[in-house]
Amino acid sequence: MNKKRPKHLALHLIKLPLAGFVSILHRISGAVLFLSLPLLLWIFHSSLRSIETYSRLIEILQNPFSKLVCFGLLWAFLHHFCAGLRYLAIDLHLASSLARARSSSKWVLGVSLVLTILIGVSLC
């Protein structure tokens, strides 16, 4: 056994493949969506309560910071959705080879970013 192994793993020096980044972003986007659920439910509740609260909510959502937060949540949803479809395809052995797994991770990033831009621009 090699006794000269490092005692501490230098995580900043590890080079992850693209599929690793997609996996980490899938977990982060899922956590962000879960943690933002109370905010989204409050927005939905406020929009349905009365016309005054709806008007106030529209004023809040016109703020550029609010738009940026909504844009980030939209990306988190679309990335989580596309990556979930990728993992479903891998589980069904449709993309089980290394080349298909690598190309599907590129597709997940590309499709989620393009859909985020298209939907985000159409909503703003």
Give a three-class secondary structure readout of 7-70.
CCCCHHHCCCCHHHHHHHHHHHHHHHHHHHHHHHHHHHHHHHHCHHHHHHHHHHHCCHHHHHHH
| Residue 114 covered by a domain | yes
Q: Measured between alpha carbons, how far is 85 from 20 in angstroms, rounded to an integer?
A: 16
Residue ranges making up the domain that contains 86: 64-124
Stated pTM of the model: 0.81
| Residue 22 covered by a domain | no
Domain count along the chain: 1
| Residue 98 covered by a domain | yes
Digitized pLDDT (tens) for each residue of the chain, 124 residues in all = 666 766 667 767 778 888 888 999 999 999 999 999 999 999 899 889 999 999 999 998 899 999 999 999 999 999 999 999 999 988 888 877 888 888 888 999 999 999 999 998 888 7
| Residue 1 covered by a domain | no
